[in-house]
Amino acid sequence: MTLKSVETLLDVLHFADSHTAVIVPELNICLTYDSLRQQVLAMAKALSAAGIRRGDAVAIALPNGLPAIVSFLAASIAGTAAPLNPAYPYEEFHFFLGDTDARVLLCPAVGSEFVRTAAKDRKIPVFSVEMTEQGNVHLAGVPPGGSVLAPTADDVALILHTSGSTGRPKRVPLRHFNLAVSSANIANTYALSEEDVSLCIMPLFHIHGLIGSAMSTLLSGGTLVIPTKFNALSFWRMVREYHVTWYSGVPTMHQLVLARTHQKPPEADSLRFIRSCSAPLSEELIHKIEDLFGVPFVEAYGMTEASHQMTSNPLPPRHRKAGSVGVGTGLRISIMDKEGNHLGVNQRGEVAIQGANVFRGYENNPEANARAFVDGWFRTGDEGYL
């Protein structure tokens, strides 16, 4: 599928029907693209029957797994997905449910006391997301019916919060086209294909997990393995059992895996590369991981406002530079001074970006937008140099 034909997250699901899209390791469930698409559309129709319309925020507080993937895609098609960390305390749930003006909340049938209480106090309807032993995900208690119009590229698919360095969290609306382009950029950067198997160890309420691991894999027609949570002790068993070819994580995860690996594990033979993002990793650890696991380790640089990835170190035979975040991936990058002038090579300043994956501005925050956007460039707030 070419980038031109991928404009929404619904397009991401149009791959070979019989190919395995998602694996649930705890239950050994393998879901095809056809089955995933049918479940997503069925839940989107159920959300429509529950009153969700285009632009309505659907709060999601689910642990990693197939229900989180189906709910995210269904919510983005029927309305706007607003995933939340299921481990938040009551006060955080109460704030974020109100700040996003959530119309409904999706959460597990068991547990979730804090978010259910917060939703009740906000007078927000709650629907339980259930999954059968066969891997069929559905909304409990929603009558059949409802119809869904296919979203447009310009519709807001996802809303996330970013705190930045100061002030209250800012709302970041990301459109279908932003997410589709970003997923394609990532797939192109690492030459992802239907032969690849990605192990998703990042949380699916974060842009890194949603786009960096999940949507880039599904867009390329690959297979996504989603354990309920990251566990360094069972990590290599899953890599071996499902022939994982790549995974993306944060430095803490890579360090935990490394701490429990004292010689090259035979399971690593299926790996094609390892990706790291969201925080820097020391050059010493990068070389240690590459030497021990025998595969390229690539650092990337991303942020929520850019629908995740902005730059990445390339795979061999192109040069990787440990300690750098690589080269731009599908967008323009510049370094600016405080006045908004573009600086030359080796001059330090603020990283600024332009591209189809970059959002158009924070919701209801003109002051932040006035500071962040200069002549069509988004100022990231990060310091760097070319």
Q: What is the pLDDT of residues 100-152, one digit of tens each?
A: 999 999 999 998 899 999 999 999 999 999 999 999 999 998 877 788 888 99
**Residues 343/324, Cβ–Cβ less than 8 Å:** no
**Residues 58/103, Cβ–Cβ less than 8 Å:** yes
Cα distances from 306 to residues 168, 174, 332, 333, 354, in angstroms, run: 20, 9, 12, 12, 9
pLDDT at residue 15 tops 80 = no
Q: Go through 249-288 and write b for each residue having 16 or more CB atoms within 10 A of its CB, e for each that does not.
A: bbbebbebbeeebeeebebbeebbbbbbbbeebeeebbee
Average pLDDT over residues 217-224: 95
Residues in the chain: 386
Edge-to-edge strands, sheet with 373-374: 332-336, 349-354, 377-384, 373-374
Mean pLDDT of the chain: 93
Which element (helix H / strand E) includes 97?
helix 90-99
Higher pLDDT, 3 or 379: 379
**Residues 145/49, Cβ–Cβ less than 8 Å:** yes
What pLDDT does residue 1 have? 45
Residue 81: strand, helix, or coil: strand
Highest average pLDDT, of 103-107, 318-322, 364-368, comes from 103-107
What distance in Å separates the CA atoms of residue 385 and residue 369, rounded to the nearest whole number?
A: 23
Average pLDDT over residues 375-380: 96
Structure tokens at 360: 């158009």
pLDDT at residue 273 tops 60 = yes
213 DSSP assignment: I
**pLDDT tens per residue, range 296-311:** 999 999 999 999 999 9
What pLDDT does residue 3 have? 47
pLDDT at residue 4 tops 60 = no
Task: Decide: pTM greater than 0.75.
Answer: yes
Q: How many C-beta neighbours within 10 Å does residue 339 have?
A: 6
CA 293 to chain centre: 25
What pLDDT does residue 164 have? 59
What pLDDT does residue 165 have? 56
Among 99, 100, 139, 105, which Cα is nearest to 119's?
A: 105
pLDDT at residue 2 tops 60 = no
What distance in Å separates the CA atoms of residue 184 and residue 265, rounded to the nearest whole number?
A: 31
155 DSSP assignment: S
**Residues 46/139, Cβ–Cβ less than 8 Å:** yes
What distance in Å separates the CA atoms of residue 282 and residue 97, rounded to the nearest whole number?
A: 38
Looking at residue 357, its amino acid is N
For a pLDDT cut of 70, what percent of the chain falls above it? Answer: 97
| 33-37, 105-109, 280-284: range with lowest mean pLDDT | 280-284
**Residues 88/123, Cβ–Cβ less than 8 Å:** no
What distance in Å separates the CA atoms of residue 368 and residue 163, rounded to the nearest whole number?
A: 12
Structure tokens at 84: 């939340």
For a pLDDT cut of 90, what percent of the chain falls above it? Answer: 85
Q: Give the sign of the dihedral formed by CA 34, CA 38, CA 44, CA 47.
A: negative
